[in-house]
Amino acid sequence: MEFNTKLLHGSSISKNPNREILPPISQVSAFRYENMEELEKVFQHRSMGYAYSRIGNPTLSAFERRINELEGGVSAVCCSSGMSAVTAALLAVCKTGDEIIAGSGLYGGTIDLFHDLEKLGIHTVFLDGLDSEEVRKAINEKTRVVFGELISNPSLKVLDIPAVSQIAHDAGIPLFVDSTSATPYIARPLSLGADVVIHSASKYINGGGNSIGGVIVDGGKFPWDFEKHTALEEFKRYSKRAFGVRLRTDIWENLGGCMAPVNAFLSYIGLDTLGLRMEKICENADRLAKALNEIEGIKVNYLTLPGHPYHVYVEKELSGYGGGILTFRAGSKEKAFRIINSLKYALIASNIGDLRTLVIHPASTLYIHSNEAEREAAGVYEDTVRVSVGIEDADDLIKDFTAAIENSDTGGYI
């Protein structure tokens, strides 16, 4: 089955008892049982069943099964947000005294989380772009996980998953990949060598900009060494599934970051059109990037532009697509603001992955608390404009951005 057919008819699609085509929203806190013996069995994991929605809920399970199938994993857990997914995934493998190796140019919330983990005695070594040789040198006896984003935003660096996972695996370390900007339509990190995939479902997976969510998928292939990964020691008997089991029955349950059933439903129906949306979004982004790059004085950063430093990965890892995010440098902050303010269709909003084109000036918003070095590592300058391209008609977007840029020279507004 190709992607869209699998999405709609894959083995994970629920056969609902009342023949509903979509999973019903089980908007309940708890589930009742006929007798105590039955509930006891559920608590002992001796029989399948739901007890309490923080620990499991049929709407969440339907969404988890579907994303698990798309990513090719063995189990998935959905979370209240992308940040709650990143937190749970890392805390499942790290203890005080352990180290994480992470790329630079990561999502701001993730960088802040690494600073929080520092206070718990979990140290992060940040590398520029996760070059495989640098990773090899940075791995030491305390390293427990290598963490990177497949396509960083807004710097648009691509993680070389086959090379980096090889080096991590040689040292007995798993690779966790945040694939939010790539989506399962563009890339399947597990098939490239990653061990765990994380998404903020708030972005492209939901796609309609109507709920916050996150998801973690376990590839189930990593040969855990329980003397090194002592955080998983109690789950030794699950062998290669130890991470997934610890995550679900321990860390995720106890952190309490479950997804709301209605958000799982919204993310589930968002997924229905993931393939269609990504196809259109990537085509629009490619056309807009190429058109804006022709304008004098405008420097565009987009993966499919010839000469982009990560261009080769478009074919190697991203199925020929460049994703939905592009940035351009306007020349000055003032000019960037004038362009943004005069756009007719792009909404000024701090989000990505919506159906609608969204635009923001990252230096004065998302990176307001970062220093200059951190901003440059993230590809953010005083004059950078970030565009999360939507599904409008490409010709309209091109006209809108071109007019906004041309008018910005005179300070005029349309």
Ligand X SMILES: *Cc1c(COP(=O)(O)O)cnc(C)c1O
10 vs 109 by CB, closer to ligand X: 109
83 vs 285 by CB, closer to ligand X: 83
**Per DSSP, what are the bridge partners of residue 258?**
79
User: Which residue in 58, 63, 103, 107 binds ligand X (CB under 6 A)?
Assistant: 107
86 vs 314 by CB, closer to ligand X: 86
User: Which residue in 10, 109, 172, 331 binds ligand X (CB under 6 A)?
Assistant: 109
User: Which residue in 69, 98, 178, 286 binds ligand X (CB under 6 A)?
Assistant: 178
Q: How far apart are CA 29 and CA 52, in angstroms?
A: 6
Q: Is 188 in the site for ligand X (CB under 6 A)?
A: no
Residue whose entry in the numeric block shows the structure tokens 């303010």: 341
| Burial tier of 74 (Cβ tally within 10 Å: 0-12, 13-18, 19+) | middle
Q: Is 204 in the site for ligand X (CB under 6 A)?
A: no
Q: How far apart are CA 274 and CA 279, in angstroms?
A: 8
- Number of other residues whose CB lies within 10 A of the CB of residue 138: 17
Q: Is 203 in the site for ligand X (CB under 6 A)?
A: yes
The least distance separating ligand X from the CB of residue 227, rounded to whole angstroms, comes to 31
Q: Mark the segment that binds ligand X (CB under 6 A) among 25-33, 104-112, 300-308, 331-339.
A: 104-112
Q: How far apart are CA 164 and CA 301, in angstroms?
A: 24
237 vs 369 by CB, closer to ligand X: 369
Q: Is 72 in the site for ligand X (CB under 6 A)?
A: no
In the three-class reduction of DSSP (H, G, I as helix; E, B as strand; rest coil), residue 333 is classed as: helix
Residue whose entry in the numeric block shows the structure tokens 């977007």: 397
Which residues, 40 to 69, sit near ligand X by CB under 6 A?
none
The least distance separating ligand X from the CB of residue 215, rounded to whole angstroms, comes to 10
Q: Is 83 in the site for ligand X (CB under 6 A)?
A: yes
Q: Is 149 in the site for ligand X (CB under 6 A)?
A: yes
Q: Is 82 in the site for ligand X (CB under 6 A)?
A: yes
- Number of other residues whose CB lies within 10 A of the CB of residue 413: 10
The least distance separating ligand X from the CB of residue 394, rounded to whole angstroms, comes to 23
Q: Is 270 in the site for ligand X (CB under 6 A)?
A: no
Give the burial string for 174-188 (b: 16+ CB within 10 Å, else e): bbbbbbbbbbbbbbb
CB 145 within 8 A of CB 93: yes
Q: Is 202 in the site for ligand X (CB under 6 A)?
A: yes
Q: Is 342 in the site for ligand X (CB under 6 A)?
A: no
Closest residue to ligand X, judged by C-beta, is 82
- Token pair for residue 45? 């994991």
The least distance separating ligand X from the CB of residue 317, rounded to whole angstroms, comes to 16
In the three-class reduction of DSSP (H, G, I as helix; E, B as strand; rest coil), residue 290 is classed as: helix
Closest by CA to 91, choosing from 147, 129, 134, is: 147
Q: Is 354 in the site for ligand X (CB under 6 A)?
A: no
CA 25, 279, 378, 342 torsion-angle sign: negative
Residues that bind ligand X (CB under 6 A): 81-83, 86, 107, 109-110, 149, 153, 178, 180-181, 200, 202-203, 212, 214
